[in-house]
Structure 1
Amino acid sequence: MAITLENVGIAVRDIEEAISFFTDLGLDVVGRDTISGEWADTAVGLDGNHARIAVLTTPDGHGRLELFEYLHPEAIETEPTLPNEIGMHRVAFSVDDIDEALRIAARHGCYPLRGVATYQDLYKLTYLRGPSGILVMLAQELTED
């Protein structure tokens, strides 16, 4: 059996805010829709499921996010996930300039949880809180020039 990762789905408070954040980081919107109906209720397992969705992709086309903002049933606010909690954890991106990526994130009010670390002289990386409390990891591969 062949298997391919299709996307990572993330429920957000404000889809426009989330789209703005991720497109500023360099992702591209490849589709938007509003979904509802019996098929959506069955697929997701929620009666009366009605949501705005957007699919974004990385420029290389290999990574996709599906963002969804629930209109019905009403979205449930929870505490933001901590890095050591079991379950869906974070979305990670490789960037070629972590300082520029952090400047872009800061324009959206998003800052590193603690700072930028260097892992074995291979990567500079950090976790930050994106829109709706999403944990986002940014990593820049360090190269010898």
Structure 2
Amino acid sequence: MSIRLDNVGIAVADLDAAVAFFTDLGLQEIGRDEVEGEWTDTAVGLDGNHAKIAMLRTLDRHNKIELFEYLHPDAIAREPILPNEIGMHRVALQVDDLEAALEIAARHGCMPLRGVANYRDIFLLTYVRGPSGIIVMLAQQLAS
């Protein structure tokens, strides 16, 4: 059996705001849809499942993020996850200009949790709190 990662799904409170954030950082929106019906109830495991979705991908076409905004059942807001909580908690994006990426993030009200770190002169990296509280790691490779 072969296996590959197809996408990472993230529920958001405001689909348009989340798409704007990720596309401003350089991801490409490749489609939007609104899904509901028996097939989605079965696949997701929620009765009456109804959501707006957007699929984004990196420009190299290897990685995708699916964003979804629930219309029904109501989305459940919770405190943003902390970096040390168990479970999926971040999306990592490699950028070629961290300073420019941070300027884009700031325009969306998304700031580093603490600052920019230098990992062994290999990467500059930081975590920012993105739309709907998503933690997004931004990393710029310094050496190969």
TM bucket (normalised to shorter chain) is over 0.9
* Distance in structure 2 (CA, Å) of the matches to 1:39 and 1:108: 35
Tell me which residue corresponds to 1:103. 103
User: How far is the alpha carbon of 1:89 from its aligned partner?
Assistant: 1.4
Tell me which residue corresponds to 1:70. 70
> CA-to-partner distance for each residue in 1:13-70, whole Å, 9 max, x for gaps?
0000000000000000111000000000000000000000000000001110000000
* Distance in structure 2 (CA, Å) of the matches to 1:101 and 1:63: 18
Which amino acid letter does the alignment assign opposite residue 30 of structure 1? I
Tell me which residue corresponds to 1:5. 5
The 3-state SS of whatever aligns with 1:112 is: coil
Tell me which residue corresponds to 1:61. 61
List aligned pairs for 1:1-145, cutoff 5 A. 1-143=1-143
Q: Which runs of 4+ in 1 moved over 2 A?
A: none
* Distance in structure 2 (CA, Å) of the matches to 1:121 and 1:29: 33
* Distance in structure 1 (CA, Å) of the matches to 2:72 and 2:78: 17
TM-score, L = length of structure 2: 0.99
Instruction: State the aligned residue count.
Output: 144
The 3-state SS of whatever aligns with 2:48 is: coil
- % identity of equivalent residues: 69
Any stretches of 5+ residues in structure 2 without a counterpart?
A: none
RMSD between aligned residues: 0.8
Which amino acid letter does the alignment assign opposite residue 47 of structure 2? D
